[in-house]
Structure 1
């Protein structure tokens, strides 16, 4: 499905770019701007951001891999 009409970007392209950014060696913060840059595009009107943000956060949640496992304590001692 096309999410960004200005750049003709699909949800699949956005998801893939978000996953790659999150798992890459630089592990950048996955923002709409970072995703657009990774795809070689620039946001234009921004009306797609209300759809883009949930899509990229599904693929690359901010706390992915940083929360303790269930039942694990974060206290040291």
Structure 2
């Protein structure tokens, strides 16, 4: 596997609609490979982080997220309408 392949797989996983948490194992599976011992994971993790979007998903806000508390409670959803 090349650095270029790893980066492409990490970007594709992060851009996917499934909200996959990108791990070294997920990158291997996306490339159709299986790790032998996991010793290379320590080298793959920084590549995954380098390819991560500027805004981590934990800090994003949207219709289902409250900026103060994270995911909205059922009461907050009821109060909206």
Q: Normalising by structure 2, report the TM-score.
A: 0.64
For residue 24 of structure 1, what is the aligned residue in structure 2? Answer: 16
The runs of 4+ residues in structure 1 deviating greater than 3 Å are none
Counterpart-to-counterpart distance in 1, 2:19 and 2:57: 12
Count of paired positions: 63
Query: Which structure is larger by alpha-carbon Rg, 1 or 2?
Result: 2
| Residue 60 of structure 1: how far off its partner (Å) | 2.4
Query: Is the helix fraction higher in 1 or 2?
Result: 2
- Give the aligned CA root-mean-square deviation in angstroms: 2.4
2:26 aligned residue (31, 34, 46): 34
For residue 45 of structure 1, what is the aligned residue in structure 2? Answer: 37
Instruction: Give unmatched runs, 5+ long, in structure 2.
Output: 61-66, 70-81
1:64 aligned residue (32, 42, 56): 56
Counterpart-to-counterpart distance in 2, 1:12 and 1:29: 20
Residue 30 of structure 1 contacts residue 60 of structure 1 at CA under 8 Å; is this kept in 2?
A: no
